[in-house]
Each structure stands twice: as C-alpha cells, then as structure tokens.
Chains A and B, each alone.
Chain A
Amino acid sequence: MKIYYKLVAILLLFFLISLTFDFPVTGDLTSPANLNVSPYYLENSVKQTHIPNVVTTVLADYRGFDTLFETSVILTAGIALILILFKSKRQKYSFSNLPRTTKGTDLVCQNSCKLAMPLMQLFALYVIAHGHYSPGGGFQGGVILAASFIFYAISFGVPNALNRFFKNKRQMLAYLGVLIYAGVGALCVILKKKFLEYVALKDILRVSDEMAHSYGVLFVEIGVALTISIIMFACYVFLATGNSFDDENL
C-alpha cells in the first residue's frame, strides 16, 4: 500500500518542480505580485488610516472580513474541544476543595514563573496596544497572554490556574471577543455605512476620518486578542487534563 503513496508523492514532486520554471525569482521587484494590488496598500495605508504598520492595516481594515472569520475559526476550535472532550458532571472532580498552592513540588518552575509571568503579561499588553506602530497586534499579543497563563498552569497546577483566571466567566469572554469584532462591523451597518467601514465611527468618536479608521482597528485588535488568549489557554487546559475539572464549561 505504501508503494502507491510513494509513487504519487514522487509524481507530485516532479510536477511541482516542473512548475517552478514559470515562477518569478524570489525578490525581483517586477513580479506581478509586487506590481498589482500591494502598491496601493503601501502608498495609501498611512494616508487613510494613520497606521504605519501596513500589515495591521491590511489585516484589520482593507481585508478585515478575513480576520473576523479567522478569529471565529479559533472560536470553532474552542467549541469543538468542549464538544469532543466532554465529561458528565459526576466524572469531574470539583477543584474548589483542592489545596491552594502545591507547596514545594517544583521549586525552580514556580519561582521562575513568579518572576516571568508579570513581565510576559506586560509584554503581551504592549504587543496588543502597539500593533499600529511595531510588528505585532491582536494575534501575537493574545498568544503571549495565553502563554503566561499556560506557564502558570504548568508550574502551579491546572486547578490553581483555573481558579485564578476568570473562574467561570471564560467562555463568556471568548464569545465576547469575537462579538466586539462583529459588533464594530454591525455598528457601521447601523450607522448607515457598509459592514466594517470604520468611517462610520467618525461621528460617535468625534474624530477625523483617518483617526476613526485607527480606533476601529484598535477595537478590533482588542477583540481578537481577548478571544485568542482565552481559547489558547482553554485548549491547553482541555488537552492537558482531558476536561476532568469541574469548571463552568470552558
């Protein structure tokens, strides 16, 4: 059976290599990809939205609808984990009566976590807030925030982590993140503009057109960061403990 797969793989490889003769060399400035649509982004992004980081502008403003549904792909993964790794109430142990801090189990890990975690969360908030000016934004910030929660869960044990971070409001916050994103879009529709057209926020925020775009992108980044941090942490908790702790549902 494996011989067929080897044959198909080698055939696919030769077909793909024969394709490369048509491709432009990586890095030449006159390739069609660098001539058609992207010059518009590079030239007009700062003029229209006051955001130097063009990737964040294209991510949240020009192709904002893509990112809305990409965040809901992450949310679907979170809901899928709730459905697949489901345990009924009696199979779960309630963790309210577990000892608060597991003393002395792994000294190095716990102390380094005490030192590192606040810095990680501060850096995560910096990355979310500075998505406009430096590389970063909702995704990276959210994942670093989730990494700090996971670090705490690894060193102090999952029940303490569950107890400490948004005890049973987690699943609400995950939905809230994407709801912020879709809500900003729907708000633009209510204000008689197209979906995700941030210019509509102009008369609410009483700012100029460009700044309305900039604030719209900021709200959207916050929504994305919220969802991604909650869902990534929930993925770790679900996969590490197999959903065996009596927490609300996420």
Chain B
Amino acid sequence: MNTGEILTLKDNLPVLIVVFPFLFAFFTGIFGSFKRFICFPLALIGVICSLISSLFGFCLVYNQRKDIVYTLGGWTRDIGISFYLNSYNASLLFLINLSILFVLLYSRRVIILKFPDRLYAFYSLILLFLTGILGIVITGDAFNLYVFLEIVSLSSYAMIALNGKESYVAALRYLIIGTVGATFYLLGVGILYLKTGNLNMSEIHNAIISQTNLLSIKAAFLFITIGFSIKFAFFPFHSWLPFAYSKTINTVSAVMAPIVTKVTIFALIKVIVLVFGLSYVFSFTCLKFLFSSVLAPIGMIYFSLKAFSQKNIRLSFCYILLMECSLMFGALFLNNILSYQITMYHVALDIIMTLSLFLFVGVLETYFRVYNFSDLESVNIFKLNPTFCILFFITCLSVLGIPPTGGFFSKFYIILAAFTAHVYFFPVCLIVSSFIILVVFLRIFEKLYFNTKKAIEGANNKVPVIMLLIFFVNAFLILGFGFNFNLLLKKIISLYF
C-alpha cells in the first residue's frame, strides 16, 4: 500500500499551492457575508500564501534539478491523481499568483463601490477561479484537467455577466461556445482512455508509444487541439472573446485576459509534451501547414487591423490579446524544439504584458473616465503622473518587440524558428502586424505624451501610489525577462525536455 513515512510540510508543497486559495475562498464566503470589510484581507492572505508557497516550490525544484511528482492520497501514480511540478510550472504559478494579487490590489475601491452587497460572493468566485487556474497548470491527470477547466470556465461565465444588459448575452454566448470546447476535450480524453486504459498523462504516453499510427489516436489529438483552440479563441473560433471582455467591468477583464488564454495554451503544450510526445506531434506536417502558415498569419493580420479600427481602447487591447494568441499558437506548430521553448517563454512573458495593458485600461477608465481614443485629449495625464506613463511605455516596447525588453527576443527567435521550418508567410505577417500595432500605440502616445491641455490639479487626477508600484514591478519583470533571456531559456525552460 502507501509508504508510511512522515511527511513534512515541505513535501506537501505542490498541493498547498492549490489548497490555500481554495480554503480562503470558503473563509471569505462564510465570514464575508457577516462583515463586509473582512472579505478583501482574507482574499489577499489566500493569494499571498499561494504566492509564497509557489516561490518556495520554485526554489525547491530549481535547486534539486529534478521535477516533483506528488501523488494525492498516497496512492501510486496510475491509481490516484498526481501533480507534476517542474521549474517552468512553478515560475508560471508564481506569475499567475502575482497577477491576481496585482488585480486585487488595483480593484479594491472599484469593487466595494460596484458590489456593496455581494462582495463576499465576488471574492470567493475570484479565489475559486484562481484555484482552477493553478490546478490546470499543476495537475498531471487528464480528467482532472477537465474538472479544473470546468471550474475556471464556470466562474468566468459568472464574472462576465456582472455588467448589466449586454454582459448577459456575452456570457451566454461564451457559455455555449465554452461548453463545446470543454466537451471536445472530454471526448479526446475518452478516446485516449478507451485505447490505453489509464488516465495519468505520462502513463497514457507509455501506452501510446506502441500504437501511434492508429486513426483514433490522431483523432484524440485533433479533438484535444480543437477543444483547446476553442477555449483560447484561436482565429476561426474567436468571436466570443472581444464581445465578452469588452462588455464586463474592467476588473474582470484584467483578471481574465492575462490568464485564461495563456493557461489554456500551456495546458495544450503540457498535453502535447506529456501525453503525445514531441516526436509524434512533429510528424503532423499537415497541421503545421494548416495552423502556422495559413490560419495563424491570417489571424494576426485580421486582429491587428481590427485593433487599429476600434474606437474603444479596451476593445482594441482585446484584439491585441487575440493577435498574441494566434502568434503563440502559430509558433507552437512550427514543429521544432526551439519554437516550443520560445512559445513557453512567450506564454510566461505575455501574462505580464497583457496584465499591464489591461491594468492601464483599468486605470484610465476608473481614475480618468477615459473610454475611447478620442477622450484621451480631454485629460492631460502625463503632466500629473509622468512615471506612470513611462512605465506603461516599457510595456508597449515589449508588445511591439523592441530590443531591451523580452518581447524582442521571443519575436526574433520565433521568426528564426519559422525560417528553419521553411514557413515564410508566418514571419512576414508577424512583422506586418507588429507595425500595425505600432500605429495603434502611436495614437495613444501622441495623445498621452504630447498633450498641450492645462492639467487641472484635481484630487482624482493623480494615480495612487499602489498602482505606480504595480506598474514598476511589471516593467521590472519585463526588462528582467529581456536581459537574462539565455538564463531563462537554458536553465528553466530546457529542463522540460
């Protein structure tokens, strides 16, 4: 049966990362309904505990140089459910916790004003959402990934439907399309279980090696890829994302935009690497042609043109997010090891970039009442808080891919990987869409920095210090990603293969 040895808290680390926000979701739910002011501190403690344990997990794995396989309930890997923690997983967990912490800090005043009576429900929903996201990143079991996927999508349907009339329609459309995606993934796992008999990802891999040329294994891979591409809004199935993220309150879009799409792409990478194995996926040349040299380039051009033609700032940032998704998905199917490593690097970097983009929109909407590009002229933001605008400038550099920031390295190496894979339409579209995004940012910079209006020394024209701190940490991380790119690539990501 299971070993009887005594486990210290250090050995139980992977499960603590997931259980801390889970338990604090109940504490906010129970105590929050009596005392309103206690909701925010409890939620904050839950996220900080998870942050610390994920940092501690990263140091543990990084020093020991080997991955942790944590089996729940003390059963062996193929009988029970197991968690799989390696250095890249832990860094992704740390970044997700950090971004949820920043959004909680940003949204404290906004949420209390907007939901005075149902504050406890909102915070316990955000913590359940965080638990689902952490579970998707860390779990090593195929069906357990589906359960976590359902928790994430159910809480995101509820969070989207908070902003009045149009958000209900957006949430219902997202629910219908999200259920289709999740059930396709369920069908793929069912076919894999039918052919192999076990549910653990690496156990399925050992069973699949002998029968890879079967049509049903290819079909399972196709269903899982289609299911995930529906969930993270790849080009043909993207209609719900801009509709959903622009209709909600800016806190919810700041919570979901940086995390849901990136984690779904990471789940696809994990399934490809752990379940099917890279050599098997590389044999699919037709997918390489379909995804990375037809759908992804068209998607990038289409999304950047849509981003350019929007009046609302948040809607154009949604389209920039969609362009990043099609960039990552296209780079994923270039079928060489370098493109996988760069996509994983870009997934981690993109969490911070999208977070600071949507926090910038949130700050504009709450503190300056600026919703469209044309409103930017009415308020002179740069005069009163120059540091805030400079920190945002660094994020824009990274989105465009200007050298010092991390964005440059990921785009440069993706183009390199595309050339080695003899795909030429994809890098050309990448460069063209980057220039179109440059024009979008120039419109913002022109109104943000070279504004001649007189600044009114009002109380609400100053961005609070906490936001400056958040943007400072974001900029620091983006530059950090840029400067020690080789360290990240060699030490953290390469451990995965």
Contact A65 B195 (CB under 8 A): no
Contact segment of B155-163, B254-262, B318-326, B346-354: B155-163
**Contact A197:B2 (CB < 8 A) given known A19-B215, A63-B80, A88-B117:** yes
Contact B71 A22 (CB under 8 A): no
Q: Closest residue of chain A to B219, judged by CB?
A: A19
How close is B460's CB to chain A, nearest CB, in angstroms? Answer: 26
**Contact A194:B147 (CB < 8 A) given known A37-B78, A249-B121:** no
Which of the residues A24, A31, A189, A209 comes within 8 Å of B12, measured between beta carbons?
A: A189
Whether A129 is near chain B, meaning CB under 8 Å from some CB there, is no
Enumerate A66-106 residues with CB–CB distance to B below 8 Å. 66, 69-70, 72-73, 75-77, 79-80, 82-84, 86, 88-89
How close is B24's CB to chain A, nearest CB, in angstroms? Answer: 11
Whether B301 is near chain A, meaning CB under 8 Å from some CB there, is no
Contact A80 B73 (CB under 8 A): no
Which of the residues A37, A84, A171, A186 comes within 8 Å of B198, measured between beta carbons?
A: A37
Contact A195 B73 (CB under 8 A): yes
Whether B207 is near chain A, meaning CB under 8 Å from some CB there, is yes
Contact B19 A22 (CB under 8 A): no
Whether B402 is near chain A, meaning CB under 8 Å from some CB there, is no
Contact B73 A65 (CB under 8 A): yes
Contact B73 A61 (CB under 8 A): yes
Could you tell me the distance between the alpha carbons of A248 and B307 in the complex, rounded to whole angstroms? 45
Contacts of A38 in B (CB 8 A): 197
Whether A175 is near chain B, meaning CB under 8 Å from some CB there, is yes
Which of the residues A62, A80, A172 comes within 8 Å of B80, measured between beta carbons?
A: A62
Could you tell me the distance between the alpha carbons of A11 and B55 in the complex, rounded to whole angstroms? 48
Contacts of A66 in B (CB 8 A): 81, 143-144, 147
Contact A175 B71 (CB under 8 A): no
Contacts of A36 in B (CB 8 A): 78, 196-198, 207
Contacts of B125 in A (CB 8 A): 76, 79-80, 83
Contact B121 A79 (CB under 8 A): yes
Contact segment of A119-127, A150-158, A177-185, A230-238: A177-185
Could you tell me the distance between the alpha carbons of A145 and B162 in the complex, rounded to whole angstroms? 31
Which of the residues B11, B29, B195 comes within 8 Å of A171, measured between beta carbons?
A: B29
Which of the residues A37, A79, A189 comes within 8 Å of B128, measured between beta carbons?
A: A79
Q: Closest residue of chain B to A15, judged by CB?
A: B219
Contact B151 A84 (CB under 8 A): no
How close is A183's CB to chain B, nearest CB, in angstroms? Answer: 8
Contact A19 B162 (CB under 8 A): no
Whether A14 is near chain B, meaning CB under 8 Å from some CB there, is no
Enumerate A158-207 residues with CB–CB distance to B below 8 Å. 171-172, 175-176, 178-179, 182, 185-186, 189, 192-199
Contacts of A189 in B (CB 8 A): 9, 12, 15-16, 19
**Contact A83:B7 (CB < 8 A) given known A23-B216, A194-B73:** no
Contacts of B4 in A (CB 8 A): 199
Contact A24 B194 (CB under 8 A): yes
Q: Closest residue of chain B to A88, judged by CB?
A: B117
Whether B401 is near chain A, meaning CB under 8 Å from some CB there, is no
Could you tell me the distance between the alpha carbons of A15 and B1 in the complex, rounded to whole angstroms? 44
Which of the residues B22, B79, B207 comes within 8 Å of A62, measured between beta carbons?
A: B79
Contacts of A33 in B (CB 8 A): 193-194, 197
Whether A27 is near chain B, meaning CB under 8 Å from some CB there, is no
Could you tell me the distance between the alpha carbons of A176 and B26 in the complex, rounded to whole angstroms? 8
Contact A73 B2 (CB under 8 A): no
Contacts of A23 in B (CB 8 A): 194, 216
Contact A80 B154 (CB under 8 A): yes
Contact A192 B7 (CB under 8 A): yes
Q: Closest residue of chain B to A87, judged by CB?
A: B117
Contacts of B120 in A (CB 8 A): 249
Contact B78 A76 (CB under 8 A): no
Contact A196 B73 (CB under 8 A): yes
Contacts of A193 in B (CB 8 A): 7, 74
Contact B147 A83 (CB under 8 A): no
Q: Closest residue of chain A to B22, judged by CB?
A: A182
**Contact A249:B118 (CB < 8 A) given known A194-B12, A197-B73:** yes
Contact string against B for A residues 15-45, beta-carbon threshold 8 Å, 1 for contact and 0 otherwise? 1001101111000000111111110110000
Contacts of B122 in A (CB 8 A): 83
Whether B362 is near chain A, meaning CB under 8 Å from some CB there, is no
Contacts of B194 in A (CB 8 A): 23-24, 31-33
Whether B428 is near chain A, meaning CB under 8 Å from some CB there, is no
How close is A90's CB to chain B, nearest CB, in angstroms? Answer: 11
How close is A221's CB to chain B, nearest CB, in angstroms? Answer: 16
**Contact A83:B162 (CB < 8 A) given known A37-B79, A73-B150, A77-B154:** yes
Could you tell me the distance between the alpha carbons of A22 and B220 in the complex, rounded to whole angstroms? 12
Q: Which of A65, A192, A193 gathers most chain B CB within 10 Å?
A: A65
Contacts of A31 in B (CB 8 A): 194, 197
Contacts of B207 in A (CB 8 A): 32, 36
Contacts of A32 in B (CB 8 A): 194-197, 207
Q: Closest residue of chain A to B12, judged by CB?
A: A189
Contacts of B8 in A (CB 8 A): 192
Contact A82 B19 (CB under 8 A): no
Contact A76 B151 (CB under 8 A): yes
Whether A137 is near chain B, meaning CB under 8 Å from some CB there, is no
How close is A218's CB to chain B, nearest CB, in angstroms? Answer: 16
Which of the residues A18, A171, A209 comes within 8 Å of B33, measured between beta carbons?
A: A171
Contact B215 A185 (CB under 8 A): no
Enumerate B110-150 residues with CB–CB distance to A below 8 Å. 117-118, 120-122, 124-125, 128, 131-132, 135, 143-144, 147-148, 150
Whether A53 is near chain B, meaning CB under 8 Å from some CB there, is no
Contact B154 A248 (CB under 8 A): no
Whether B6 is near chain A, meaning CB under 8 Å from some CB there, is yes
Contact B144 A80 (CB under 8 A): no
Q: Closest residue of chain B to A80, judged by CB?
A: B158
**Contact A86:B117 (CB < 8 A) given known A62-B80, A182-B22:** yes
How close is B335's CB to chain A, nearest CB, in angstroms? Answer: 23
Whether A48 is near chain B, meaning CB under 8 Å from some CB there, is yes
Q: Which of A172, A189, A195, A209 gathers most chain B CB within 10 Å?
A: A195
**Contact A195:B12 (CB < 8 A) given known A69-B148, A72-B151, A249-B33:** yes
* 8 A-B contact pairs sorted by A residue (CB < 8 Å): A19-B216, A22-B214, A64-B73, A69-B135, A80-B155, A89-B117, A179-B30, A199-B74
Task: Give 10 new A-B contacts, CB below 8 A, not counting A70-B147, A83-B159, A84-B161.
Answer: A37-B79, A62-B80, A65-B73, A66-B81, A76-B158, A79-B121, A80-B154, A83-B118, A172-B30, A196-B72
